[in-house]
Every structure is written in C-alpha cells, then in structure tokens.
Chains A and B, each alone.
Chain A
Amino acid sequence: MDEEMEAIRKNKTWRLTDRPASRRVLKVKWVYKVKNEVLKNGKNTTRHKARLCFMGNRQIKGVDFNETFAPVAKFTTIRCILALTAANGWELHQMDVKTAFLNGDLDEEVYMEQPDGYVDPTYPQKVCRLLQALYGLKQAPKMWYAKLDDFLKSQGFHHIDPDACLYLLMDEDEVIIVLVYVDDLLLVASSLAAIYKIKKALHKRFEMKDLGEAKVILGLEIRRDKTLGTLKLSQGKYAAQVLEKFGMA
C-alpha cells in the first residue's frame, strides 16, 4: 500500500481542495491481489499488491468523462512482427510500465474523497481534485495511450494507419519497432544497441520494468532458436490450465 501511495505522491496525482459545491465527489477503494512471479533466477515468489482504484462505476458520461476508447495492438500485427523478427534475426525485448495509468494527464474536472488509511490528519474535511489518472477512472486507458503516443512521437516514431499500436522508427540504418499493449511494450530492433537506446529513453521518461528478452507476452510463450533461426509462439501453459479446469489433465 505504501508503495502505491509513494507512486501516487511522486506523480502528483491529486491536490487537496475544499469540497466543491456543484461537483460530485466520488470514492476510491483499495484492491488487493496476490501475484505469482518468476524471479530472474527462476524461482517463484508471491507478491502482495495493493492498488488504489477509483470507483469509475459511479462516473456519468458527459459529466465526469467523455471519451474512453484506447487502442491495443491486434494479434495479427503481433504475429506479423514476430515473423519479421524471426526472418531478419532481430532482437526481441520486453518491458512493462509500472503504474502506467497514473501517468495520464486529466483534462476533465474530477473530485474524490481521500483514500482510507491515508486521510490527511490536518485537513480531514478536504477532498482530492484529480490532476492525473487513477486506476478505475473511465478515461484512464485513453489518457495513458495519449501520453505514450506523445512520447514515442517525440522520439521520432511513427505509428501506422492499420494498427495504431505499432510504432516504427528508422534510425541510421537501424530498425526499431515498438508494439504497445496497454502497459506491456514489445521492443524489436535490428541490434542490441538500438534496443538499449530505446530502453534508456523509456526509463528516463517513465517508471519502467525491464523484462529482458521476451519470453512470455500476453500469455503467449516465445521460444527462439537463433542457430536454427526459428521463433515459436505457443500457449502450452494456458492449454494445460484449460484441461485442468475441465478435469482432463
């Protein structure tokens, strides 16, 4: 919980103000989750995660939010890019953005009560005016996408018409491709140097987690054999889970 509040403070997500007379004040809620994670040394651990969630279900369209749509990469695009990666022997890395939705800038006026357990002792009566997005906020995904789009364009990337989540950059004969799936980023480049370059730029701008060479993206397992020049995309783990669910394992 403290970790989440720290991220929120760092981002200047809200500012305390007096209760507005003519605006609705919505609530937030803590959501807890136990996550299984594989460490770099291959060991499994569990992590307890707390996330402050805005109760977007109480938001009214036209009053508290307008547009909510945010694009994600199409699977056909992902498969095409992976085919190109295998064909050209490119590097394939993966990163995810920590607390991605906290990065979006809010342009609508939204107020919320102070979160449980973190009420300011000197001003318990005040409410929070949101300046940046919060998980659960209806417009959060769209705002995050807009922010990342701005950043990638400032780095010289272009996105292409058929898939708004595919970004390309040709830099001194180096090809760099970024595929965006909300807060999961797939980085493809013709050399490791180019991969490091884009990683560095991303680290500088956002709070990122570097996952190294892509092994699992969106539940798809990637296995590469660089000597044979093959890239295999499979879902064995998911398939096994399905069989177990139906008692057929």
Chain B
Amino acid sequence: MGLQLGKADDSDDALPYRDAVGSVMYLMLRTRPDLAFAIGKLSRFVSCYGKEHWASIKRVLRYVKGLLDKGLVFDENSSCVLQGFSDADWAGDHETRRSTTGFTFIFGGAAVSWGSKLQKTVALPTMEAEYMALCEASKEAVWLNKLAKGVACHGLRTAILAGPINIKVDNRGCIEFSKNPGEHKRTKHIDIRYHVVREAITTDKVTLKHCATDDMVADPMTKELGKTKHEKHVKATGLC
C-alpha cells in the first residue's frame, strides 16, 4: 500500500467505508497485528473518504482473504521473556509531515501487544520520532511489567520473568539520548512528556538494546513494506 491518500472533499455515503474499516479494525485489535498500519492509515479518512479510499480498504480485504486463517501461534519452545520492539517512520504522513509510532511486544512466540499511531507533533530529527515512539512503547512496557510482577508475586515465579522489559530500537542516537539527560541545541525542544522513557529506565522497568533495521519487528507498524520484508516481520510476530 505505497499509496498517498488525501482527504476527499465529500464523503461518498453510498460506500460502506466506515463499516469496512471498523470490521477489519476489530480483527486487527484481537489477532492481526499485520493489519495495524493499514487500518491506522485508513481510519484517518472515515469522515472524508472517496473512491480511492474504498479501493484501498478493498485491497486490505483481499489481503485478509488470502490469509484468512492466520492467527497468533504461541509455542512452548519459544522464549517466555517479554521482548519489545519500538520503531518510527520519520515524516511518514505526507500531509502533515508527522511521523508514525509503531511498537510490538512478543511473548511466548507471538505478539501479545502492538500499536501503530500517527504522532501528535512533527518530529525534527529522526531520533526525535524514534524517541516519541519509544515513549509509547515504554508506557506499554510499564503496564506489562506491572502485569508480569503481579503474576509473579502470586507464586508463578517460574512461569514468568518479572525483571525489566527489554525494548529493541534501531536508532543509536535515540538510545544515547534516553540514557543521557544532557540537553543541547538540537534536543531542547523535545517535550517533557516524552521523558517517561528516562524514568522507565531509571526505575528499572525498561532496558534498551540496539538492533538492525532488518530485524526490527515493529517496522511494519510504521509504514508499508515490500512483500518479502513484510512477510519476514509478520512471521516474527508469530502469525502463521
């Protein structure tokens, strides 16, 4: 879906666009992280859609048709340590030049939590977009960490690891910036609210690790990818 969609002037009420987006969204929220970005993008147009938007959702439906029975497969041989991935696509939205946040958490062989979201403000450097994405991922990690701790303290210590949750990021600048509270000219505009990342690190809820873009499982949450890459990452989220 390397498609650039603009707002249509008038919604064509004859097309059941909203219904279709809503129906696929239900699917995406429960078992299909691979649809997250497409639905995130198409749902921006539920009040201003035209024929091209309808054609796009039809394309999503055709994709669903091809992989009708795909689901999350949890596997006893997979690692029972929560692994997070956080990524951003810098200035992905062509109208506003805002960036897209994406995150995925894998546990026991498949994704348990995921999200794709257009960021609220324009990010200047790519590092800032990544930092804003990491903020969303950290918030989710803090909650997951609480859940893991809650489960562990009731006797399931062997079943779940309640230590800090590792999040993989493919931007070294972003990792450095999260650890290093020094302010300077290029980062002084970054809003205080995004520093929940630092707090999550200092309170031992989150650790960061670098990974190559090719191994970034949250990549398809932020942009349209080519078929091979998309399939590779979909497999890594445990969908089969």
Contact = CB atoms under 8 A, between A and B. Distances in A.
Nearest to A245: B23
B74 A230 contact: yes
Given A83-B112, A236-B71, A160 B151 contact: yes
B155 A235 contact: no
Which of the four size classes fits the interface of chain A?
35 or more
Given A83-B109, A168-B156, A242-B24, A77 B61 contact: no
A84 B61 contact: no
A11 interface: no
B61 A246 contact: yes
A239 B62 CA distance: 11
Nearest to A173: B155
Contacts of A75: 29-30
A238 interface: yes
Contacts, number: 142
Contacts of A166: 147, 150-151
Contacts of B71: 221, 232-236
B146 to A, nearest CB: 4
B107 interface: yes
A170 B155 contact: yes
A13 B160 CA distance: 44
A89 B155 contact: no
Nearest to A231: B74
A220 B29 CA distance: 12
Contacts of B30: 75, 219-220, 235
A87 B108 contact: yes
A172 to B, nearest CB: 11
A53 interface: no
A162 B75 contact: no
Nearest to B28: A235
Contacts of A230: 73-76
Contacts of B159: 84, 87-88, 175
Interface of A: 75-77, 79-80, 82-89, 158, 160-163, 166, 168-170, 175, 219-221, 228-236, 238-240, 242-243, 245-246, 248-249
